[in-house]
Structure 1
Amino acid sequence: MLMHIRTPFPYETTHEDLRIPLPDGRRLYARAGRPITDDPVPVLLAYHLSRPTDWTAPATTSATF
């Protein structure tokens, strides 16, 4: 399911792919989407154990947050 913004979003956004190491040596792959601003705003973080090569990656990558 793709997300669509129904009203104009007040900021440009950036997306960053992250690797989060776990104590057992595994890594979580995450994508953080956030507005480009100095204002305090929340971050949208999506994570998946097998990111970025799992079958859902293309849909998540093309989604608009």
Structure 2
Amino acid sequence: MKRDAADARGNNDIDIEVVERQTEKGVWSVEVIDHTDGGAIYLTKFHGACSRARATQYAEWLRT
């Protein structure tokens, strides 16, 4: 998977990363690991035009 290092921020409770799917070229996802909920993992995929930009924008919204 290609990780967007500029978007791989997080804190001690939640990690949020923007990742290009290795098996789906051009598909970007936002992966969230919630350490306060037993390490629950949430994944949202973005397809189509501007998918990387939309995933990045969504990740930034989650961080606020």
Given the two structures, how large is their TM-score scaled by the length of structure 2?
0.50
Q: Greater share of helix residues, 1 or 2?
A: 2
Higher relative contact order (CA 8 A, sep 6+): 1
**TM-score between the two structures when normalised by the length of structure 1:** 0.49
Which is higher, the Rg of structure 1 or of structure 2? 1
